[in-house]
Amino acid sequence: MASPGDLDALSPTKLKALVIELLGKVAALEQTVAAQRAEIARLKGLKGRPALKPSGMEKASEPKPPSSPKGRRGPVTPRVAVEDRILAAAVPPGSRFKGYADFLVQDLVLRACCIRYRRERWLTPDGQLIVTPLPGGVDGHFGPELRRFVLAQYHQGQVTLPRLVVQLRALGLAISTRQVMRLLIHGHQRFFDEARDVLRAGLVQATWITVDDTGARHKAANGACTQIGNDHFAWFGTTASKSRLNFLELLRAGHPDYVINAEALAYMRERGLSGPLIERLATRPERSFPDRAAWQAHVERLGVTDLKVSPDPVRIATEGALWGAIKAHGLLPGTVIVSDDAGQFLVGCHALCRVGGDVAIPAPHRPGRADFPHPVLQERASLPAT
């Protein structure tokens, strides 16, 4: 750019024109520099400047134009049974009936009710008193619908106990906080039985399962919550420890017995239990024990508890008897147990799931990848980690 010469000699009009020209050139140079910086950042793989959208506050503060009337809603399909109520019309004499014009209304009815069952009592000729039994589903002084509502509100609706009590009282029920707590924690053996049956069915049918555990608090004490499942089922159990002995007890799926069989003896040999002790357990006529007390008495009679060696022979023998019970009940028939590198899960046919989705079987149960016996896990091994 040529020098304008003596600026003092220029008239105000020429000075203004010169300034406008210079400002235009500066703006053009700024645009060029910004474009070059963006190109350099792109070539280096850096993130560019964020695209900031203009604020919508001004647009939101303006009154909205009147919207055009929407079309008529489609037909409503209720998910419950429809109750018909006929509404009569006042018509002049001589009118002809032309059917009904249906109009569906969905509503929710929450009301408290109290039922007094007057059960007949009869005294037989032989002096026996017979009282009519209560209807099925009536257990205690609170009905099944109230129990269902309380459980749904607390567990699914995340309603706290104090708010649940206030809600029930507002509906007209005479109920205390202690009674609501009993509805939440007592008489739920059916739920535990159902969860146990789900675990048993899963361990019998599954070709593979994933397991993991994490710390948990229960009754103001530290514990562990163990997860067992696959794509078809999931089971959770909270216990006091996360040892291998505890994991084997969970894999029994509620069965309380201990069994000495070929699988149990093979487990003991793999864990390094002494040969004479294994022979002593194998030659005894007692092979099945109904509970922990019976098994503990058996190992005491054999003198296993008197041995002070490492690893603990009582623990290894107990783990073997648990593994024998698992196999005796048909659980884990060739099932692959997929877990992280935690030692408590290293039982049976085991596979490790590492970061990146790789699945591998550790020694001594690690065949070649080409000889991987479970195509389901072989397929899952190729999937990326989530």
Range scoring the smallest mean pLDDT among 18-27, 53-62, 337-346:
53-62
CA distance 192 to 375: 33
Percent of the chain at pLDDT > 70 equals 83
Contact assessment for residue 337 and residue 351, using Cβ atoms and an 8 Å cutoff: yes
* Domains identified in the chain, total number: 1
Is the pLDDT score of 358 beyond 70?
A: no
Percent of the chain at pLDDT > 90 equals 48
Tell me the per-residue pLDDT of 154-194, one tens digit each, with 9 for 90 and over: 988 999 999 999 999 999 999 999 999 999 888 778 888 88
Does 343 fall in a domain? no
Is the pLDDT score of 364 beyond 80?
A: no
CA distance 198 to 202: 6
Is the pLDDT score of 4 beyond 80?
A: no
Q: What are the DSSP calls for 22-82, one per residue?
A: HHHHHHHHHHHHHHHHHHHHHHHT------PPPPSHHHHHSPPPPPPPPPPP-----SSPP
Q: Where are the alpha helices (DSSP H) in 222-351?
A: 244-251, 262-270, 275-283, 292-301, 313-328
Domain span at 148: 139-185
Region 272-277 average pLDDT? 90
Contact assessment for residue 351 and residue 377, using Cβ atoms and an 8 Å cutoff: yes
Does 157 fall in a domain? yes
Under the banding of pLDDT at 50, 70 and 90, the label for residue 29 is very high
Does 173 fall in a domain? yes
Region 84-107 average pLDDT? 91
Does 152 fall in a domain? yes
CA distance 379 to 386: 15
Does 270 fall in a domain? no
- The rounded mean pLDDT for the chain is 83
Q: Give the pLDDT score at 298.
A: 93
pTM to 2 decimals?
A: 0.57
Q: How many CB atoms lie within 10 A of CB 195?
A: 15
Return the higher-pLDDT residue of 226 and 364: 226
3-state DSSP assignment of residue 110: coil
Return the higher-pLDDT residue of 9 and 337: 337
Region 277-286 average pLDDT? 91
Which tokens is 106 given?
């969905």
Region 108-130 average pLDDT? 92
Tell me the per-residue pLDDT of 60-76, one tens digit each, with 9 for 90 and over: 556 666 665 565 556 66
Region 242-250 average pLDDT? 93
Is the pLDDT score of 122 beyond 70?
A: yes
Does 60 fall in a domain? no
CA distance 250 to 92: 77
Is the pLDDT score of 247 beyond 80?
A: yes
Region 243-264 average pLDDT? 94
Under the banding of pLDDT at 50, 70 and 90, the label for residue 379 is very low
Helix axes 313-328, 262-270, angle to 10 degrees: 140
Range scoring the smallest mean pLDDT among 187-201, 257-271, 312-326, 365-379:
365-379
Does 165 fall in a domain? yes
CA distance 280 to 273: 12
Return the higher-pLDDT residue of 78 and 295: 295
Q: Where are the alpha helices (DSSP H) in 186-252?
A: 189-205, 244-251
Does 176 fall in a domain? yes
Q: Give the pLDDT score at 55.
A: 66
